[in-house]
Amino acid sequence: MRNVFLLASQSRWLREHARRYGFMRRTVARFMPGETADEALAAAGELQRQNIGSVLTHLGENITDPDEAEQVTQHYLGVLGRVRAMALPTEVSVKPTQLGLDLSVELCYSNLLRIIECAREQTGSNVVWIDMEASSYTDATLDLYRRARGRYPNVGVCLQAYLRRTAGDLNSLLPLGPAIRLVKGAYKEPPARAFQLKREVDENFFVLSQRMLNDDAQRLGIRAAIATHDAALIRRIVAFAESRGRSRNDYEFQMLYGIQSAEQLRLAREDFHSIVLIAYGHYWFPWFMRRIAERPANAWLALRNILE
């Protein structure tokens, strides 16, 4: 079933037609406050009132028109200005292929720097997160991050625990004092590149989290963003962090909007840094299919809406 949803995420026909169906829109509404920046910012404001931070991501990927990449860049610049005006504890997360990576590495890098520079001017130290896409983009994405980190401190990158290479990538980044968002990963990858079993991915996620919370990584200045909805895994990570003398200011938990909301609130109330990633935009179908693929409970929600 996971493979079915991942294949569906790659279908252009489904992407173009899914928005026409009410049951699809009802289902995705559980995980998105809406398709517009206004709705995303309103959701960020509501989270702020609960002492929960946020990261905004405007959905889209694999742009092949430089004018469209420019429009995306301008969109993020405008959002950052509104974040400052609203005094929100909000960051942004961008996909390299949405900034033109498929067209030109230099075009993508130029657009990325403009967003990072704007975030630095508008919101101070707020990080611009670089999303990780399919494994064919991993090297290019890490190169973008290393170049940008050499110029600005307010940039972070996502690493995927299901890739076999990630332990080596993490070790190579630590000397930079990086901001790392660790996720499990949600693209279809062959066994040679990625762990296929959930228990293998979960265990590698825990091992990588330990590495991010160890004394040497902390001394190097890592910002450790642990992105999981797995309550049992969260408890293991907290227990390890406490055994190493980490304070609750030394790491954070990030989750998706609409998933495990009670756990997000619990963490905030217990003085952990609780952050929610808010996705928005018209290009939600591939993103949503990957969310279903990585969490079977989401598929049952979709099925209930179909039956209704």
Residue 285, pLDDT > 80, answer no
Q: What is the mean pLDDT of the chain?
A: 89
Q: If you average pLDDT over residues 156-160, what whole number do you get?
A: 98
pLDDT digits (tens, 9 = 90+) for 47-104: 999 999 999 999 998 999 999 999 999 999 999 999 999 999 999 999 999 999 999 9
Give me the catalytic one of 15, 102, 120, 131: 131
Confidence at residue 266, expressed as pLDDT on a 0 to 100 scale? 97
235-249 pLDDT, tens digit each: 999 999 999 999 999
| pLDDT the model gives residue 240 | 98
- Is 116 part of any domain? yes
The answer to whether residue 214 scores a pLDDT higher than 60 is yes
pLDDT mean over 124-139 = 93
- pLDDT at residue 165, rounded to an integer: 98
- DSSP lists the bridge partners of residue 163 as 194
The boundaries of the domain holding residue 213 are: 33-283
In a domain, 138, yes or no: yes
- Is residue 304 in a domain? no
The model's confidence at residue 188, banded by pLDDT at 50, 70 and 90, is: confident
1 pLDDT higher than 70: no
pLDDT at residue 259 in the model: 85
In this prediction, residue 30 carries a pLDDT of 77
Distance CA 306, CA 302 (A): 6
Count how many domains the chain has: 1
In the predicted structure, residue 14 carries a pLDDT above the cut 80: no
User: What pLDDT is attached to residue 10?
Assistant: 58
The rounded percent of the chain whose pLDDT value lies above 70 is 82
Which is catalytic among the residues 181, 211, 246, 291?
181
Q: Is 190 exposed, middle or buried (0-12, 13-18, 19+ CB in 10 A)?
A: exposed
Percent pLDDT > 90 in the chain is 74
Q: Is residue 259 part of a domain?
A: yes
**Predicted pLDDT of residue 9:** 52
- Could you tell me the CA-to-CA distances from 139 to 63, 159, 166, 186 in Å, in that order? 19, 11, 11, 17
pLDDT value at 124 more than 70: no
Say if residue 106 is exposed, middle or buried (CB neighbours under 10 Å; 0-12, 13-18, 19+).
exposed
pLDDT band at 110 (very low <50, low <70, confident <90, very high): very high
Active-site residue 131, yes or no?
A: yes
Q: What pLDDT is recorded for position 299?
A: 59
Confidence of residue 4 (pLDDT cuts 50, 70, 90): low
Q: Residue 74: name the closest of 53, 99, 104 by CA.
A: 99
Kindly indicate the confidence band of residue 21, based on its pLDDT and cuts at 50, 70 and 90: low
> Is residue 17 scored above 70 in pLDDT?
no
Residue 300 lies inside a defined structural domain of this protein: no
> Would 264 be classed as within a structural domain?
yes
- CB atoms under 10 Å from CB of 236, counted, come to 16
Highest mean pLDDT: which range of 9-18, 128-137, 294-303: 128-137
Decide if 212 is inside a domain: yes
Task: Return all residues near 212 (Cβ < 8 A) that are at least 6 apart.
Answer: 170, 180, 182, 222, 224, 226, 251
Q: Is residue 28 situated within a structural domain?
A: no
Residue 66 maps to which CATH number? Answer: 3.20.20.220
